[in-house]
Amino acid sequence: MKRIVILASGSGTLTQAIIDAHLGADIVAVITDQAGAHVLDRAHSAHIETFTVPMMADRTEWDREVETLIAALKPDLVVCAGFMRVLSERITNRFKIINSHPSLLPLFPGAHAVRDALAAQVPETGTTIHWVDGGLDTGQVIAHERVRIYSGDTEATLHERIKIVERGLIVATIKSLLPKLEKTIG
């Protein structure tokens, strides 16, 4: 059975969608950088092992700790599901990692994609699943789905509509990738 490790920083709605999808893979752990993240409760409820690695003053040490932990878990795929940290190139070169991002990349990379799309007054945005590389949302796009922006949208309402689409797209993407993955890296 393929092994998935999820990295998440927040409420865990993407993680919950992955858990609920019953992908025929083993979600071996959820790793977060936030001790109080609600994603930990979701993982505990699903009997998934959790780890918290808070950001350290020495970023190199944090990278080393995260890399060691991921390697010990022997994942076939690492899924960034609302993980709000940029991973080092050393980590991204070692593991197969995908990320979900709330825009149509390469447009609006970074932590404020929804706000940036509204400020740009574009007619649509969306969500993208991409391979993670050493850059900020610069990896090869795997899939994307469009979401229309309405005149009355706020950052909160638009982001909520994107999240609905994002949950379905990340599950569909993982389903399509799992049979293609080679044996565990690391």
DSSP-derived secondary structure for 33-87: S-TT-HHHHHHHHTT--EEE----SSHHHHHHHHHHHHHHH--SEEEESS--SPP
Sequence length of the chain is 186
Please name the helix (run of DSSP H) or strand (run of DSSP E) that holds residue 18, with its range, or none.
helix 13-20
Q: Is 144 a catalytic residue?
A: no
Catalytic residue among 22, 38, 44, 101: 101
Q: Is 31 in contact with 5 (CB distance < 8 Å)?
A: yes
Which residues are tagged catalytic?
Answer: 101
